[in-house]
Structure 1
Amino acid sequence: MFTGLVQAMGMVRWQTGDQSGRRMLIGGTPLVERLSVGDSVAVDGVCLTVAAKEGDGFAAQVGPETLARTTLGQLRPGDMVNLEPALRAGDPLGGHLVTGHVDTVGTIVAEAHEGEWRYVDIRYPSSFADYLAPQGSIAVDGVSLTIVSCTEDHFRIMLIPHTLAVTTLGRKSVGAAVNLEFDLIAKYICRLVRRYVGSANAH
């Protein structure tokens, strides 16, 4: 479990394999000192397992399902990624509950600057529309953010200067793909309501 508060960025040093499975090394991060083999770590919002530690980085294995459902299959050596270690008992819950199980990939379609702040519009599959609400939470590339507004297939977020500086979102522009994880509580509520309505209609 994570909170969506990115604690560091890392760089993809190398990767091997193909779409049937890859192994990658993410380095240049001070987080490696607190990670152990077997630990969970969110990489651009995707929960991965530390398979090995090498120098100032760690190696992780990425399976075919993850490569197909997230942006990790698009990463290349030199790319920067957001990193967050798993939440520990007693840690502050400063963002919102994030599982690291990405729901889908969205695309940045517009951005507007207001001083040091940036508004970003992201297009997403309309089948997930029930999980979004204005002032609700969403994880974008592992970053916990508040939804400013939303439609059936777009939503808007606002990035503060700090987020732009300490996460990869400050490096993303129109056309970039981003990992999206919708609010866990919203997903469970929608599932329960659909089951209840379906049961009521059956009677």
Structure 2
Amino acid sequence: MFTGIVEELGEITAVEQSGDAARMRVRGPVVTGDAKHGDSIAVNGVCLTVVDVDGDEFTVDVVHETLERSSLAKAEVGRGVNLERAMAANGRFGGHVMQGHVDGTGVFLHRDADDLTHFAFPPRLGRYIVAKGSVAIDGVSLTVASVSPEELTIALVPTTLSLTTLGRTAPGDVVNVEVDVLAKYVEKQTAGGTSSLSVDNGGGKEDG
């Protein structure tokens, strides 16, 4: 489990394609401080399993499903990524409950004159996004300022802009979106059936 409080801004140092999957190496001095094989680290909001740790870098395998459903399909050397280790049982809960299972990709649109950042998202996610509710964009826990059927706005504070990739995002850039898992459970209970995302939440935990 993650909370969306990014621990550091890392950097992709190598990407090796292997068929329809990829092996990626990421530099992150903070998250590698106690990382070991089998640990979970969220990379731009995608929960990945550590294969190997070498100094301040760690290696992960990214399967086809994740490449298809997340922005990691566009991963390239030199790209900055948000990094967060899985939350310790005795850790401080600073953001909101996140699984590292990306529900879809959105697009950064623009920042307006009121310093609100606008993102487009797949219409099928609209039912899970509410004003003043929580959403994760590229692994960052954020509060929704306003929402329409296919667009949401966020009031990003200077600290978030400077310490995460969201301060470097340009119009048209693809971002990972994870909606609040509590909304999925509420939908399932009230509908008496299965959440519409239960079989469509790619970009989740890899087997390492």
What is the TM-score when the length of structure 2 is the normalising length? 0.89
Partner of 2:76: 76
Residue 65 of structure 1: how far off its partner (Å): 0.3
Distance (whole Å) between structure 2 residues aligned to residue 74 and residue 93 of structure 1: 31
Determine the structure 2 residue equivalent to 1:7: 7
Q: Equivalent residue of 2:32, what SS? A: helix
* Rounded Cα–Cα distance in structure 2 between residues aligned with 1:13 and 1:149: 36
Q: How many residues align?
A: 193
Asked if residue 188 in structure 1 is aligned to residue 185 in structure 2, the reply is yes
* 1:73-118, Cα deviation, whole Å (9 max, x unpaired): 101000000000000111011100000000000001221255xxx3
Structure with more relative contact order (C-alpha pairs < 8 Å, separation 6 or more):
2
Structure 1: tracts of 5 or more residues without a match: 197-203
Q: Contact 1:12–1:77 (CA<8 Å) still a contact in 2?
A: yes
Equivalent position of 1:145 in the other structure: 142
CA contact (8 A) 2:40 2:86 kept: yes
2:175 to 161, 175, 178: 178
Residue 29 of structure 1: how far off its partner (Å): 2.7
Task: Kindly report which structure 2 residues correspond to 1:127-138, keeping only aligned pairs within 5 A, or say none.
Answer: 127-138=124-135
1:81-160 matched pairs, under 5 angstroms: 81-114=81-114, 118-160=115-157
SS of equivalent residue, structure 1 residue 175: coil
Provide the rounded CA distance (Å) in 1 between the counterparts of 2:123 and 2:141: 21
Letter of the structure 2 residue corresponding to residue 139 of structure 1: A
Q: CA RMSD in A?
A: 1.3
| Distance in 1 of aligned mates of 2:169 and 2:138 | 11
Cα displacement (A) at 1:170: 0.3
| Structure 2: 5+ residue stretches without partners | 194-208
The AA in structure 1 aligned to 2:140 is V
Q: Give the corresponding residue for 1:30.
A: 30
Closer/same/farther in 2, CA of residues 2 and 19 from structure 1, 3 Å limit: farther
Give the equivalent residue in structure 2 for 1:200: none
Q: Which runs of 4+ in 1 moved over 4 A?
A: none
Structure 1 residues 103 and 19, CA gap change in structure 2 (3 angstroms):
farther
Please list the CA deviations of residues 148-184 of structure 1 after superposition, one character each: whole Å capped at 9, or x if unmatched.
0001111111110000011010000211110000001
Aligned partner letter, 1:47: C
Shift of 1:9: 1.1
Name the aligned partner's letter for residue 33 of structure 1: G
Give the corresponding residue for 2:58: 58
Structure number with higher strand proportion: 1
Aligned residues of 1:9 and 1:29 also touching (Cα < 8 A): no
Amino acid at match of 1:76: E
TM-score relative to the length of structure 1: 0.91
Q: Does the CA-based 8 Å contact 1:19-1:67 persist in structure 2?
A: no
SS across alignment from 1:68: helix
Q: SS of 1:34's equivalent?
A: coil
SS in 2 for 1:133: coil
- Is 1:21 the equivalent of 2:21? yes
Tell me the distance in 2 between the aligned counterparts of 1:27 and 1:180. Answer: 23
CA contact (8 A) 1:11 1:80 kept: yes
Sequence identity (%): 38
The 3-state SS of whatever aligns with 1:169 is helix
Contact 2:102 2:178 survives alignment (8 Å):
yes
Contact 1:2 1:85 in 2 (8 A): yes
